[in-house]
């Protein structure tokens, strides 16, 4: 969100913008850089969630990079995560190392941590990182990999749903065409709209009453009549 002195916004949005701008200035402080050097960038430091090291490359999917040549690795950058909200109260709390309330993690896990996500433990064993909700034990890909019967049921159910949608749309289109054919006015459009109306209003007359009651009625010329006239 980009705000200027001439922007008109609600107070909550301005407070959020100002707060983020203030915290951004904290991370430009020398103490923040020193804390990163002493805890995040030291040899042996790893992300507490995914176990990756600073500068390491990783893949965030189940795709095999040897098969998918377009798959690009993600560069791991370690940072410090503030686990409790009280550390955001002032600059000194934010920039003072507290092992009980801070942890070393990568920037991606730090962002996901705020949303209640964690890496799938089974994906980590294969060298991939896929985030799941904090209460889940595994991702759907790992579950279906161990339960092929359930995967088959899921695929069949999805295909049945797609087929039902296709049949529904087909029948709906057929009903609209049949409805248009039944009406004898050539201005009668699909969906009941009147072709003479400038605001797309619907025809209020039945096929029987349109001939004698509608002033805009013009009889539809059927294709079969055209062939017979030739």
- What are the pLDDT digits (tens) for 164-210? 999 999 999 888 777 666 788 888 887 788 988 888 888 888 887 88
What is d(CA 177, CA 102) in angstroms, rounded to the nearest whole number?
A: 66
Residue 7 has pLDDT above 70, yes or no: no
Whether residue 123 sits in one domain with residue 41: yes
In this structure, the answer to whether residues 108 and 20 fall within a common structural domain is yes
> Is position 3 within any domain?
no
**50 with 109, same domain?**
yes
Q: Report CA 18 to chain centroid distance, whole Å.
A: 27
Is residue 120 assigned to a domain? yes
* Domain co-membership, 153 together with 132: no
CB 65 within 8 A of CB 87: no
Task: Note whether 99 and 172 are same-domain residues.
Answer: no
Tell whether 30 is covered by a domain: yes
Q: What is the mean pLDDT of residues 139-152?
A: 91
Percent of the chain with pLDDT over 90: 39
Residues 48, 117 contacting (CB under 8 angstroms) = no
Do residues 51 and 109 lie in contact, with contact meaning Cβ atoms separated by under 8 Å?
A: no
Structure tokens at 204: 């209020």
Q: Which residue has the higher pLDDT, 182 or 144?
A: 144
Mean pLDDT of the residues in the chain? 84
Q: What is the pLDDT of residue 187?
A: 87
Helix intervals (H) in 2-83: 11-26, 30-35
52 burial (CB, 10 Å; 0-12 / 13-18 / 19+) is buried
- Tell me whether residue 5 is in a domain: no
Domains contained in the chain, number: 3
Using the structure block, give the residue that is written with the tokens 């189940």: 62
In a domain, 2, yes or no: no
Select from 109, 138, 167 the last residue of a domain.
138
The H or E element that residue 104 is part of is strand 102-106
Length of the chain, in residues: 230
Which residues form the domain of 172? 147-179
Domain match, 168 and 189 both = no
Residue where a domain terminates, one of 106, 138, 170: 138
- 138, 169, 200 — which closes off a domain? 138
pTM to 2 decimal places: 0.60
Is 117 found in the same domain as 31? yes
The reply to whether 4 falls in a domain is no
Residues 28 and 108 in one domain: yes
């Amino acid at each position: 969100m980009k705000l200027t002195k001439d922007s008109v916004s609600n107070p909550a949005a301005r407070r959020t913008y100002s707060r983020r701008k203030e915290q951004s200035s904290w991370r430009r402080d020398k103490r923040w850089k020193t804390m990163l050097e002493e805890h995040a960038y030291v040899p042996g430091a790893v992300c507490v969630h995914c176990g990756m090291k600073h500068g390491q490359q990783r893949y965030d999917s189940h795709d095999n990079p040897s098969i998918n040549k377009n798959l690009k690795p993600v560069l791991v950058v370690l940072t410090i995560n503030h686990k409790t909200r009280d550390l955001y109260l002032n600059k000194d709390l934010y920039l003072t190392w507290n092992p009980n309330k801070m942890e070393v993690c990568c920037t991606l896990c730090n962002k996901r941590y705020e949303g209640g996500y964690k890496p799938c433990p089974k994906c980590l064993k294969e060298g991939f990182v896929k985030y799941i909700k904090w209460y889940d034990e595994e991702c759907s890909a790992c579950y279906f990999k161990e339960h092929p019967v359930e995967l088959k049921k899921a695929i069949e159910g999805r295909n049945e749903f797609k087929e039902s949608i296709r049949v529904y749309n087909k029948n709906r289109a057929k009903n609209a065409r049949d409805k248009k054919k039944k009406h004898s006015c050539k201005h009668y459009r699909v969906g009941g709209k009147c072709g003479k109306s400038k605001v797309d209003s619907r025809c209020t007359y039945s096929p029987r009453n349109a001939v004698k009651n509608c002033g805009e009625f013009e009889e539809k010329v059927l294709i079969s009549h055209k062939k017979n006239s030739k």
